[in-house]
Structure 1
Amino acid sequence: MLNWLFKTPSLPLDLSFLGADMHSHLLPGIDDGVGDAQEAVAMIRQMKAYGYHHLITTPHIIWDCYRNTPATIAEGLQTVRAACAEAGLDIQLDAAAEYFLDEHFSELLSAGEPLLTLPGKRVLVELPYTTPLMNTPEILFSIIGHGYQPVLAHPERYAYYHADPTIFQKLSDQGCELQLNALSLTGHYGEGVTRTAEWLLKHRLVTFLGSDAHRISHVEQLKKLTKRKDLKDYPFQNYKLSPKGI
C-alpha cells in the first residue's frame, strides 16, 4: 500500500476540463470513505494525474450514522493536507459536507447554524435511497429561503424516481442544482442508474459532475470515461467552484 504514495499513473484520461471535483470522501475514519491517510493520498495523487487541480471533499453528515461536525471535518482535513505535504503532493484540498436530509439537518437550518458549504453558499444534500421523502421539494425550497443554494447529490441513484425522472426537471426549475456521479456513466451502480444519468445529461439538467470517490477503486474506474468524448462539450459548471477556474 505504501507504493500508492509514490506512484503517479500515466493514463490517457484527462478531466482537466472539469478543474474541480466537489464530491468525495477523502477524510479517514469519519464516514464510509477512506480508511487512512495513505489511501487518501493515493486517491488524490491519481486524481491530480487525471487533471483535477482542486478537490473539495464532502464527508457525510447523517446523524444516525456519522455525527460529523465542522470540528471533526476540519481535523480530518488537516490530517490529509499534512499527509499530502509529506508526500510532496501539491493540490488545493478543501472540505464541505454532504448533508442527509434528516431531522438533524432541519434543526441546523431552523436554528441558523452555519452550514459547511461549497463556494457560492452551495449546500450538498442527499436523499434516502429506498424511500422517498414526501416533502422533498419543500425542503429544498426551504434551503433557498435560508440563503443557501441546494445541490442535490447523485439524483440518478434514487431508484424510486427512475420510472418518472421528470421530477428532476421540476426541482431544477425551482432552483436546485443537480450533481451527477461520474461512475453512474460507467455502469458501476447498475443499468437503472446509468439510464437515468443519461436522461439527465440529455435534458441538460446536470450542473456538476462529481466523483463521489470513497476508495481508490472508484478513482481507478474513472478511466472508463475515456470513451465519453461528449463530456468535454457538456456545460458542467465545476469551474465555478475553484478560484483558478479551468
Structure 2
Amino acid sequence: MFTFFKKKNQVEDVEWLGVDIHSHLLPGIDDGSPDVVQSLSLIKQLSDLGFSKFLCTPHIFEELYPNDANTISSALKEVKDGLESSGLEVDIAAAAEYMIDENFQVKDGLLCLPGKYILIEMSYLSETPGIDQVIFDLKILGYHVILAHPERYAFNHQYLARFNRYKEMGVMFQLNLLAVCGYYGNEVKRVSDYLLENRLYDFAATDLHHSRHLHVLSAAITSGALYKKLGSYDFKNKEIFS
C-alpha cells in the first residue's frame, strides 16, 4: 500500500556530507560551467540538495587549462556577484585541482583548500613519474595532500594493493560521488567499492562539471540511494572544512 512516510533510514538530501570540496562550478575557465548563468543554476540546485558550502577547484593543467590565482579569483568574483544579485546566500570559495605532470612545480603559495590541503590529480592512464617525490616535497612544505578520485586511475585497477602505498605516504583520498552511482562505468564502481570497504577514503565530493552530472547525482540523492550507500561512512568534509 502506498504511504507518505519515508522508509526507515532513508535520507533524501546530502546534508550529512554538507561541504563539497571538489567541483568545476566557476565559469569559463576549464571544462566545467561555461558561464555564470549555468554556475548559478548548478549551485542553486546543489544547495537545494543539501550542500551548505562549496570549495570550487578548477583545473590547473598547463597544457589545457593554464589557470592561476588571477583567473580563478576573477571567476569566483563573477559567481559571488551573481549570487548577491540573485539574493542567494551561499558559502563559496575557491582553490584548485592540480595536474601533477612535468609542468607542475612544488612551491609555497599553491592554491589550497583551507588548512593547506592541496587537491591533486594524475592522468587516468599512467602514474606520474616521480609522484612519490612530489608528494614528499609537498608534505615537507606543510601541504596536506588529497588525491582526487583515486578510483578513476585505470593503471591501478588490477593492482588494488597499490593504493596502500599512497596511504603509507600520508595521502588522503577523495571519492567522486558519481563513481558509486556507476556513472564512470562498472570498473570504476568496483574500485570505489573496494576503497570504501577498506575505509581508505577521507573525503567525498561531486566533481560536478555540468547538468548531466547533476541529473545523475540528484536522482541518487533524492531516492535515498546515496545515503544508503555512503551515509554511515566517516567522511571528514564537515570536520575539516565547515
TM-score under structure 2 length normalisation: 0.90
1:185–1:194 Cα contact (<8 Å) kept: yes
Confirm whether residue 171 of structure 1 aligns to residue 169 of structure 2: no
Measured in 2, the distance between the counterparts of 1:88 and 1:127 equals: 38
Confirm whether residue 47 of structure 1 aligns to residue 46 of structure 2: yes
2:108–2:141 Cα contact (<8 Å) kept: no
**1:204-231 deviations in Å (ceiling 9; x for gaps):** 0000101000012212211224213141
Secondary structure of 1:236 counterpart: coil
- Sequence identity (%): 37
Which segment is superposed worse, 222-231 or 67-76?
A: 222-231
Confirm whether residue 158 of structure 1 aligns to residue 153 of structure 2: yes
Q: CA RMSD in A?
A: 1.3
Secondary structure of 2:231 counterpart: helix
The equivalent position to 1:224 in structure 2, one of 212, 215, 220, is: 220
- Aligned partner of 1:13: which letter? E
Secondary structure of 2:138 counterpart: helix
TM-score under structure 1 length normalisation: 0.89
Where does 1:87-98 land on structure 2 (aligned, <5 Å)? Answer: 87-98=86-97
Where does 1:69-84 land on structure 2 (aligned, <5 Å)? Answer: 69-84=68-83
2:27–2:33 Cα contact (<8 Å) kept: yes
The equivalent position to 2:199 in structure 1, one of 199, 204, 207, is: 204
Secondary structure of 2:204 counterpart: strand
Where does 1:1-246 land on structure 2 (aligned, <5 Å)? Answer: 13-106=12-105, 109=106, 112-222=107-217, 223-225=219-221, 226-228=224-226, 229-243=228-242
- Aligned partner of 2:152: which letter? R
1:20–1:241 Cα contact (<8 Å) kept: no
Gaps of 5+ in 1: 1-11
Moved over 4 A (4+): none
**1:140-193 deviations in Å (ceiling 9; x for gaps):** 122111210110000000111000122212211221000010000111101110
1:60–1:99 Cα contact (<8 Å) kept: yes
- Aligned partner of 2:128: which letter? L
Measured in 1, the distance between the counterparts of 2:214 and 2:240 equals: 20
Offset of residue 69 of structure 1: 0.5
Aligned residues: 228
- Aligned partner of 1:26: which letter? L
- Aligned partner of 1:68: which letter? N
Gaps of 5+ in 2: 1-10
- Aligned partner of 2:225: which letter? K
- Aligned partner of 2:76: which letter? L
- Aligned partner of 1:85: which letter? E
Measured in 2, the distance between the counterparts of 1:150 and 1:123 equals: 5
